[in-house]
Amino acid sequence: MSTVDWFGCAVCTVFLRGCPVRCTYCHNREIQDGEDYREVEEVVEMIRSSRMLVSGVVFSGGEPTQQKEPLLMLTAASREMGLKVGIQTNGVFPETLEALLHEGLIDRVALDLKARWERYDNLLKKKFTRNIRRSLTLCRTAYQERALQEFEIVVTLFRGYEDEVKYIAGELEGETIVLQQGVEGTLPPLTSAEMRQIADRLGREVKIRTREEGEVVYDGRRDRRIPGKR
């Protein structure tokens, strides 16, 4: 159970194993690969057992969209329980997102963007850029058509790579951007104040997510703590 995976909503978070991207800062490196197969029904029952305490489910990972058919079944079952459904994704599997959107099975997508397009394949050392761009377009269109209630772009910030978000933001069409405090090894994380300075350079409202403050909406002149958050 989680109060940080969907701000403003208590959720049950399901982590699906496996991710073709290998971020060194991954918060779940132990499930980037390996095997631990479960029946879909077993997971459905775990979600059902938390039904009285949550109003939504977030599918995370690893990369949840890598397992298309199980994810379709799990999201459909969650819907039947009356739960809102969110996905945290790196966008590598647009066909799964397309199916979820087509079936009307998700309310929210948090899409990680890690670099400007021209650097993406180099950074990931795999040719995923086209897929990720397609995922962005699918979610953008669904959000504009109100088939998707919430859509945000998550950019994880690290000391020494503060400028990349400026280029990422320049490639977007006004989508909500979340600046997330990255934590990796012994590298000191950016402070909330430093993240506000980065946001100032974007010249637009963003959300800033840090361990110290939780999530705030920041537009350069004022910032607002999300109600009920740390």
Please tell me whether residue 166 adopts helix, strand or coil conformation: helix
From 2-10, 18-26, 96-104, 192-200, span contacting ligand SF4 (CB under 6 A): 18-26
**Long-range pairs for 213-219: beta carbons < 8 A, 24 or more residues apart:** 214/4, 214/7, 215/7, 215/178
Nearer to ligand SF4, 79 or 116 (CB): 116
The contact mask relative to ligand SF4 for 168-207 (x = CB under 6 A, - = no) is ----------------------------------------
CB atoms under 10 Å from CB of 197, counted, come to 12
Minimum separation from the CB atom of position 123 to ligand SF4 (A): 11
Q: Does residue 19 bind ligand SF4 (CB under 6 A)?
A: yes
Give, in order, the Cα–Cα distances in Å from 139 to each of 178, 211, 215: 16, 28, 22
The rounded radius of gyration (Å) of the Cα atoms in the chain is 17
Nearer to ligand SF4, 63 or 215 (CB): 63
Q: Does residue 64 bind ligand SF4 (CB under 6 A)?
A: no
Please tell me whether residue 144 adopts helix, strand or coil conformation: helix
Q: Which helix (H) or strand (E) holds 58?
A: strand 56-61
Q: Does residue 22 bind ligand SF4 (CB under 6 A)?
A: yes
d(CA 25, CA 161) in angstroms, rounded, equals 13
Q: Does residue 131 bind ligand SF4 (CB under 6 A)?
A: no
From 25-33, 95-103, 138-146, 188-196, span contacting ligand SF4 (CB under 6 A): 25-33
Nearby residues of 92 by Cβ (< 8 Å), 6 or more positions away? 20, 21, 63, 65, 66, 128, 131, 132, 135
Q: Does residue 67 bind ligand SF4 (CB under 6 A)?
A: no
Minimum separation from the CB atom of position 60 to ligand SF4 (A): 8
Q: Which residues bind ligand SF4 (CB under 6 A)?
A: 19, 21-23, 26, 28, 32, 61-63, 90, 112
